[in-house]
Amino acid sequence: MSAVKAETPRVRTLELEVPNWAGHRAGQHLDVRLTAEDGYQAERSYSIASAPGEGVAITVERLGDGEVSPYLVDEAREGDRVEVRGPIGGYFVWDGDDLQPVLLVGGGSGVVPLAAMARQRAQVGSTAPMKLLVSSRTIEDVIYRDELDALAGNGFGFEVVHTLTRSQPPGWTGYSRRIDPGLLADVAWPAPESPRVYVCGSTRFVDAAADGLLQLGYDARWIRTERFGATG
């Protein structure tokens, strides 16, 4: 690990030095394997947070019953070594060469691969309209909040919308509920625009978002989903 950065109280970004890295696409992931002193091994998959060409970084949320994430969030330090395998995946990717509108919907740490797509858009100078809808528990739980708001503030066709589901700060004027068809109708492009959609989050979150978009007339072929969660 070459650098460690706190994103929220439960989330850290780890920059990795991977010898002979062949490059990756925005939306891909890699496998991280840890080996204990007694030889026990645990492996988990994490989305690549960085845009292509920017090195390799992962952003990890601590799970209470996790085997890998508590170490990566609470104990990992610059100079530590981990085993990685990747990049993996070719379905949930966006390369920045398509001018169709792009709708990104992320729940919690599901924003990680979507942020990589937003970074890719800025890096290649894409003019494809892009909206990112982020659902977080509180304002303190919003991952990459300052960076995403800065990207949205540059006036180049990227928009970010937040909804806070647990508590909101004084004066909050954004959304304050879970993803539902009404919220999606407010944020999403009309179905005739044929946007490309990427949804990432827990299974419950992804199902709710995908079902809501289908109710709005979106074609299932436009919607690509990625689910995550703790594994035993």
For residue 222, which amino acid is it?
Answer: W
Please report, for the chain, the start and end positions of each structural domain, with discontinuous segments joined by +: 3-88, 102-228
Please give the order of strands across the beta sheet that includes 29-35. 41-47, 29-35, 83-88
Distance CA 187, CA 196 (A): 14
Contact 176, 164 (CB under 8 A): yes
142-198: per-residue pLDDT in tens?
Answer: 999 999 999 998 878 999 999 999 999 999 999 999 999 999 999 998 888 889 999
- State what percent of residues in the chain have pLDDT above 90: 83
pLDDT band at 214 (very low <50, low <70, confident <90, very high): very high
DSSP character at residue 129? -
What residues are paired with 88 via a beta bridge? Answer: 29
pLDDT, average across residues 129-144: 97
Q: Rounded to 5 degrees, what angle do the CA atoms 191, 118, 12 make?
A: 125
Instruction: Quote the pLDDT of residue 65.
Output: 81
pLDDT digits (tens, 9 = 90+) for 55-98: 999 999 998 888 899 999 999 999 998 999 999 999 999 999 98
- Domain 102-228: give its CATH architecture: 3-Layer(aba) Sandwich (3.40)
Residue 232 has pLDDT above 50, yes or no: no
Q: Which CATH class is domain 3-88?
A: mainly beta
Q: What is the pLDDT of residues 184-213, one digit of tens each?
A: 999 998 888 889 999 999 999 999 999 999
Question: Tell me, what amino acid is at 118?
Answer: A
